[in-house]
Amino acid sequence: MAARTVRLLVNGASRAVAAQPARPLLGVLRDELDLTGAKYGCGEGQCGACTVLVDGKATRSCVTTVGDAAGKAVTTIEGVARGKQLHPLQTAFIESGAMQCGYCVPGVIVAALGLLKKNADPSESEIRSALRGNICRCGTYPRIVQAVRSAAAAMHKGGKP
Ligand code: FES
Ligand code: FES
């Protein structure tokens, strides 16, 4: 299939890329747009390392084609911070020590952001359910849940996700 120009709204900026529509969004983000925060883990939609938001919904970018994302708003981990100010989720992950190797963290934070956009005060079970598709091989799940709860509490005080 021939490449064509695909337009995306990535982290608030309009971007045009020449790509085959069937190409995975993850590869376009990483290789064409230099957004390497979303990670390649399994490549099969199973691990969550590649999670981005597409129109606000947590999405596996390894199994989403760039053609399917055309014209939509894509948020990667690079677009989560508020300018130079870390997002409360990022601050909470640091303060909670919710990482070891860090490979899963971009996907986990983006997935958590998708949750908090829908549910500003999730219970522990709702957090676990929302993040069940994000595998952390280092096993930091308890601290991840704690970090999301802390971020939700901070956002209650300081504004919307
Ligand atoms: S790399 Fe996409 S779900 Fe694993
Ligand atoms: S911190 Fe290593 S995979 Fe999650």
**66-119 tens-digit pLDDT:** 999 999 999 999 999 988 999 999 999 999 999 999 999 999 999 999 999 999
pLDDT at 48 over 90: yes
Q: Note the pLDDT of residue 85.
A: 95
Rg (CA), the chain: 15
Q: Note the pLDDT of residue 157.
A: 81
Q: Mutate which of 30, 42, 103 to test ligand 1's pocket (most atoms within 8 Å of Cβ)? A: 42
Instruction: Tell me the average pLDDT of the chain.
Output: 96
How far does residue 138's CA lie from ligand 2's centre (Å)? 4
How far, in Å, CA of 31 to CA of 123, rounded? 37
pLDDT at 160 over 60: no
**E-only strand ranges, 69-148:** 73-75
The ligand 1 atom at the shortest distance from the C-alpha of residue 135 is 4
Which DSSP string corresponds to 53-86?
A: EETTEEEETTSSBHHHHTTSEEE-GGGTSBTTBP
